[in-house]
Structure 1
Amino acid sequence: MITDRQLSILNAIVEDYVDYGLPIGSKTIIDRHNVDVSPATIRNEMKYLENEGLVEKAHASSGRFPSIKGFRYYVDQLLENNYSRKPNNQRLNDLLAENNYNLSNALSAYANELSMTTNYTTLIMKPNQTKDLITDVHLFNTVANLVIMVIVFESGDVEHLQLAVPEKISKHRLIQIANYIKDNFNDESGSKISKMAFEHSRDSVTVLQLIDLLNQRLKDSTSDIYLGGKSNLIDMLNEQNVSSIQQILQYLESNKILKLFEDDYHSGIDVKIGQEIDNNLENISIVLSDYHIENHLTGHIAVIGPTAMRYQNVIQLLYKI
């Protein structure tokens, strides 16, 4: 444990280092933070923080900069102070309405907006649509051997799928099939009458194929990712950590980031720093957050930046937006 004064000095070192990118000395802390103690006292406290492994000393000066352990301590304090708060998704709800409830367009706009606001790369993962209710299903014949299936979800999202069939299906039969598919997905028991209607019919194969198509699309949608501000990854890197760009891009493209939400993740906001993410990502931090649609769909947000990230700004934004 460290004292309140030592914590305030650590916070000052972290925040000034993020702003300046340079080791922080006692004079800078006194000038910027109105600390009512002598420079000698500040230096003694900085020495204590160094002995605790929370800051490191630069080679050419008496200034200190945060260690990974120091960033972790700083972030843990931020998260603890905001423990009882829950992210507010009003902005996402507004974007859904602005994009006529096209979920993909809204999430893409959300990712770009968050990236522009934070100046970091933002990645948004689509919710698991298997938890979304289907409000309507429509089937159409466009040509003799092609059926278009339009699925409308309770969230307002719409999916379009198509299937080649051996022969044209009547409009009446398409309506029956559509009603059966809707009942089948909203009620695991399904409609006994509907099931009997297709059990021994020549359309049973088509029905199963359409259901398989829908199941596969819903499964695939859980890995749909919307990326905003990819160029910010390059902007944040300098000559010391430029080698990280390849590793982080490979990490994002491999979808390994999804495992951060599956392994040791608690609902709300969390932060992973450096090798907590991956052994090859020493210079990267990721702020993780949930978002909710219609109270029953949950997706994930990841804001990606350097370890010297403006954590407080990002965390506060994710709580408010």
Structure 2
Amino acid sequence: GPAAPSGPGGDVPRDVPGGAPGPARGLVLVGEPEVGRYAVAARRRLELLAEASTRIGTTLDVSRTAWELAETAVPRLADYVTVDLPGAVLRGEESADPQADLHRTVVHGIRDDCPFYPVGHQVRLDPGTPHMRCLEGEPAVLETDLQATTPAWMLPGLEHARGILAHRVHSMICVPLLARGVLLGIAAFYRSQDPAPFGDDDSRLARELAARAALCIDNARRYTREHTLALALQRSLLPRGLPEQGAVEVAHHYQPAESEVGGDWFDVIPLSGTRVALLVGDVVGHGLHAAATMGRLRIAARNFAELELAPDELLTHLDNLLVRLDREEEDADATGSTGIVGATCLYAVYDPTSQVCT
């Protein structure tokens, strides 16, 4: 541009009429060709990683977390994303043989008619495929020219004839989903609309996204496993059937929470003189710990009831028991856990002779 007028500080020579040099102030930027484009691309990758930290792992649902990975990557990194998880992982378990149990869990892309087998399809792998190479330990597999160098059988889960030709899928990154040393599945990123193939920077970005998603999937898997175990434990501790008694007609229904399993319980206990005790309780908290504590309190309550204790005396004994359990938990737990917070309980004794409920 035109030279700036001369002034104090930073003056440099410039041409003036007549050919004599004069002072001028200016700015010169020197750098590699296309350095600006590289800087913009790097900034966009950082922005995508920052967004992934908030978008991936918003729930404790394995499938939903896998979908969040795909929705984050499309279209800013890839045009299509597929995620294959073993059935055991979807159930909250570790898979002993992921290769034999892979199921298509996510298919997401820029078009609704994705060139991939649908969700639920069992993915079968052959030796040498990118997916198999990831299962065998490679951190990522980058294929930059699928149409020219990769035979159809190399891409499991892709409907090759119409997929590669009609949708112009030309490059792919395949990444294992690894968390805490456990292989949880495979994520594959495909490009078709952008004519530029994936590069090494894209591969590193895909690996970082997959690592974030794998950790969240593992958290969701562990939660699913604990939720299933807690629900099974809680149901096993509830009454299998109602005892015979003639004082009252009893009807009951138990509906566990959709997201959390707690320490709810009920009981019907026949007493002497045709009396009957009715009990409903709830341990504060959720999960296996609350369900196990519920079982201990239910057994204690039955034992106290069979001693013909009055309701206020029975609840006093239960309260003392809970305080002892809480103290034992604190003594045994070196992590500083608060142990059992408490429980609520309603205990009633009905006497059909006097028709009095205490």
- The normalised TM-score by structure 1 is 0.26
Higher relative contact order structure (alpha carbons within 8 Å, sequence separation ≥ 6): 1
Higher percent of residues as helix: 1
> What TM-score, normalized by structure 2, do the two folds share?
0.24
